[in-house]
Amino acid sequence: MLLQNAVATASLLAYIGTADAWSPSNSYAPVTGSCAGNTNLVRAADGLSDAETQWLEKREGNTKVALKKFLERATKDFADSSIVDEIFGSATPRAGFAACGGGYRGTFIGAGIAAAMDERTEGANEHGLGGLLQGLSYMSGLSGGTMFTSTLLFNNWTSVQEIVDRMNDGDHSIWDISQSPMNPGGSDTQYTNKVFGTIKNALKEKYDAGFDVTLADVYGLFTGYYLYPSLPDGGATYLWSDVQDMDTFKNGEMPMVIELSSVESADETAVSLGSTGFEITPFEFGSWDETVKAFTNIKYLGTEVSNGVPTNEDTCVTGFDNASFLSGASSNIVNYIYYQGSAMYQTVIGTIKSKFIPANSTVDRIDVNIISPNPFKDTSYLTSSDNTHVESDSLYMVDGGFGGQNIPFNPLMRKERDLDVVFASDTTFNTADVWPSGSSLMHTYDRQFMAIGKTDAFPYVPDTETMMSLGMNKNPTFFGCDSSNLTDLAYVPPLVVYLPNRAYSFNSNITTWTLTYTKEERLAMIQNGFEIATRNNFTDDPGFLGCVGCAVMRRKQEQLGLEWPAECQQCFQQYCWNGTLVNSRNASSTAPPTANDALPESADISPLITSECSGDDCFSTIHTATSTTVTCHECEENGAVQTGVVTSTIETEECEESTTRVTATAECEECEEGANGGHKYTTISSMTTTTEVCEECEEAEYRATATANGSKNGSSSGSNNGSNNSNGSNASSKSNGSNSSAKSYTAAPTIMQVTIGTPAASRVSVIQNENNGNSLAITSIMTMLTLIGAAFELM
């Protein structure tokens, strides 16, 4: 992959061209004004909006040229490539890319995959899928994937190549996360103070304008400084609706970006697979789910309405649809931290709240993105008996992946958008050695058989045991290859090209809570993503480019009744899942696992969703820095139960000064055995204490170290990424081309020194098992929050 590593010498403003429109208040605060003749701001979710339909017509004028060019290159070695002209003589295939969550792991792997598809990337046309990105109609993101999609979107559809060319450490360029989040300026304390001060002022402006502010606002604004640093105040004045005025978007020269968020009910503190999902687009905000089934004009979010009509005639709010706020709602992890249940968390959160949230604020939830007034108040488009979200005064938004669907498939699967193929990264964190297991595919498949998903459709997929046994979680796999086998679903969904995270040139199994990467690590992750998308620059399979072309053409070939090239037949035998299962139990049945519809009750691990498992140690959760080990033995079924175990001590020491200590201890349950679906489990704890020490000495240097004693972590210190398994499509074996092992890094890291299977180049060495998709173990973030809280106490 030829991604250049040039040092940034130009101004940050050289990164992007900006749209003409900005927040009408030129601040983070929404303002009240005219509705510009819009008498009803809400529509039924019975099709695409007029605005999206008109935009799509412009986009297809561009995708037709781009996809035809790509497919001509992909099929140039076919014995007969006339199918390309036959398809484009009648129709244009419609494609999308779903960028998975997973923190910065998801951001950078997603970026590498997109770079492989982008003709602007050096080498992508020779060694990659160059031109495919130019042929995409849609791109969706959530959580860490949102941080990728938002970066491209709000930097005027910049390229990954351009970001890489200007990438450096310590210059506050795009994705410069070389400094600890508690100290974004590093030695430049003026910059750090400016960031914190600007965020505090922005919240005050929004609050003074009469709108709720929470720690989720803080999170979104803070993230903006890393994703779009050239925008004033990290995007504090830039809006989602501003995208409508970007020339690249108006002219259909880029895909439409759709980001996902989930909504909690007022009495909930977590979401599940059955929770209502919301789309965020440049035109609209809303949900296809039966509990809302409506969309509102995103420009007028924040307007008080009843059944879509402004309660004050011709008086609407604008400026509420802030880029950092809504993209933050798609990747918001604050509520997981808030409900961790630890006195430590509550103390730290309380400190940060006191520094950022106005003292007279009476908001009842500080952990969610609050959209208030509720734009769907009193609407009647829903088809569910559950009217919670149309009766409530506010919507409480959280990370779109928290319900188990960590790959944002749903917007791209909608029948209304009529896609032919969806490329999907999987950077979830399901296995003990930090690789995906395919569980997110299962969750999306299962949801279509729940009441909430009855208007969804998704191809058949195997259970995670099959995925891992046949190596499909380490190799590209196609799902839904034959539409004639999908007719018993709600409709025929797009074909899915599944691209799971795996190691080629870099061990990319980095935890979500690794919050600091060097330039070299960022580049290595992006390059590994490029190699995932191209099967190691086509060295694993020189014919993979042609196979991708076949996937793009398949639905149109079926619809038009065209002859299927022999090369495509061979590709589908190699890459399509043919229904093989490793045992008689198919987890992708019409009865979705009920465990996915409710989170465990334990406060410490309530974010987790019970996963599939196999082997003697099928469910191993390592809470690094809290010395918690949960190991499930005798995996006879697929259920696993965890109980919370936390013992933490945080010390802040200032040389020759007094010591401030905050200690939280939660007693551990030892050797509990119980049954959950026939699966025995054991909770093991040795009451290990973790100590984080922050020393402010002559160099004013902050450092934290962690020790974990007396606890077996239940995980190998390395990972073998090699595979000789077939993907289940034929009898031949398909190697994943990697036998590299993750290596523990032993030099003193920036924040903590706890390593389990980290790449040799990694400086931030905190690896925690995040079973069940991208469900997050929160413990290492506690260090960051504690130190930020301590820093504020010293301000």
pLDDT at 784: 53
Q: Say how many Å lie between the first and final Cα of the chain, rounded.
A: 46
How far apart, in whole angstroms, are the C-alpha atoms of residue 551 and residue 542? 16
Assess whether pLDDT exceeds 50 at residue 702. no
Counted residue by residue, the chain has a size of 795
Count Cα neighbours of 753 within 13 Å in the Cβ-side half-sphere. 10
Residue 590's pLDDT band (boundaries 50, 70, 90)? very low
| 762-785: average pLDDT | 37
Q: At what angle do helices 215-227 and 343-356 cross, to 10 degrees?
A: 80
All domains of the chain in start order, with CATH: 12-575 (3.40.1090.10)
Count Cα neighbours of 330 within 13 Å in the Cβ-side half-sphere. 35
The alpha carbons of the chain give a radius of gyration, in whole angstroms, of 25
Assess whether pLDDT exceeds 60 at residue 711. no
How far apart, in whole angstroms, are the C-alpha atoms of residue 135 and residue 99? 16
Least confident range from 19-23, 37-41, 101-105, 641-645: namely 641-645
Identify which of 429, 459, 427, 425 has the alpha carbon closest to the alpha carbon of residue 588.
459
More confident: 491 or 433: 491
How far apart, in whole angstroms, are the C-alpha atoms of residue 691 and residue 693? 6
On whether the CB atoms of residues 453 and 443 are closer than 8 A, the answer is no
Report which secondary-structure segment, H or E, holds 208: helix 189-208
Assess whether pLDDT exceeds 80 at residue 504. yes
| DSSP strand pairing (421-426 vs 95-99) | parallel
Q: What would the two tokens of residue 86 be?
A: 């036959």
Least confident range from 14-18, 143-147, 438-442, 558-562: namely 14-18
How far apart, in whole angstroms, are the C-alpha atoms of residue 142 and residue 308? 27
Residue for token digits 């993209």?
327
Mean pLDDT of the chain: 77
Identify which of 274, 143, 269 has the alpha carbon closest to the alpha carbon of residue 596.
274
DSSP E strand boundaries for 670-781: 673-676, 679-684, 690-696, 753-754, 765-766
Assess whether pLDDT exceeds 70 at residue 578. yes
On whether the CB atoms of residues 469 and 433 are closer than 8 A, the answer is no
319 secondary structure, DSSP code? S
How far apart, in whole angstroms, are the C-alpha atoms of residue 254 and residue 245? 13
Q: Where are the alpha helices (DSSP H) in 209-342?
A: 215-227, 247-250, 323-330, 334-338
Phi-psi region at 156: left, alpha or beta (left = phi > 0; alpha = psi -120 to 50): left
pLDDT at 709: 31
Q: What would the two tokens of residue 553 be?
A: 């053409």
Three-state secondary-structure class, residue 225: helix
pLDDT at 288: 98
pLDDT in tens, 355-369: 899 988 989 889 999
More confident: 338 or 38: 38
More confident: 169 or 585: 169
How far apart, in whole angstroms, are the C-alpha atoms of residue 769 and residue 714? 10
pLDDT in tens, 262-303: 999 877 778 889 899 999 999 999 999 999 999 999 999 999
Assess whether pLDDT exceeds 80 at residue 732. no
* % residues pLDDT > 90 (the chain): 60
Report which secondary-structure segment, H or E, holds 627: none
pLDDT at 320: 98
The backbone torsions φ and ψ at residue 43, rounded to the nearest 5 degrees and listed phi first, read -130, 160
| 45-61: average pLDDT | 98
More confident: 767 or 175: 175
Q: What would the two tokens of residue 364 be?
A: 């009842």
Q: In sequence order, what DSSP letters do the residues of 122-151 get, joined into one string?
A: TTHHHHS-TTTGGGEEEEEE-THHHHHHHH
DSSP E strand boundaries for 179-332: 256-264, 277-280, 284-287, 294-297, 305-306, 309-310, 316-318
Assess whether pLDDT exceeds 90 at residue 336. no
What are the angstrom distances between the C-alpha of 466 and each of 433, 581, 753? 18, 6, 35
pLDDT in tens, 319-335: 999 999 999 999 987 87
pLDDT at 342: 67
Residue 785's pLDDT band (boundaries 50, 70, 90)? low
| DSSP strand pairing (690-696 vs 646-654) | parallel
104 secondary structure, DSSP code? H
On whether the CB atoms of residues 280 and 370 are closer than 8 A, the answer is no
Least confident range from 84-98, 194-208, 630-644, 752-766: namely 752-766
How far apart, in whole angstroms, are the C-alpha atoms of residue 3 and residue 5? 7
Residue for token digits 């307007």?
303
Report which secondary-structure segment, H or E, holds 352: helix 343-356
Phi-psi region at 225: left, alpha or beta (left = phi > 0; alpha = psi -120 to 50): alpha
Least confident range from 228-237, 350-359, 741-750, 779-788: namely 741-750
Q: Where are the alpha helices (DSSP H) in 364-505?
A: 388-391, 410-413, 439-447, 464-469
On whether the CB atoms of residues 238 and 22 are closer than 8 A, the answer is yes
Give the chain's largest Cα–Cα span. Answer: 81
Burial-class residue 163 by CB neighbours within 10 Å (0-12, 13-18, 19+).
buried
How far apart, in whole angstroms, are the C-alpha atoms of residue 795 and residue 787? 12
Omega before 494 cis (within 30°)?
no
Identify which of 545, 498, 548 has the alpha carbon closest to the alpha carbon of residue 126.
545
The set of residues, in sequence order, having a beta carbon less than 8 Å from that of 402 and lying 6+ positions away, is 262, 270, 271, 336, 607, 775
Burial-class residue 706 by CB neighbours within 10 Å (0-12, 13-18, 19+).
buried
* Amino acid (1-letter code) at residue 416: E
3-state per-residue secondary structure call for 573-625:
HHHECCCCCCCCCCCCCCCCCHHHHCCCCCCCCCCCCCCCCCCCCCEEEEECC
On whether the CB atoms of residues 726 and 732 are closer than 8 A, the answer is yes
pLDDT at 663: 33
pLDDT at 147: 96
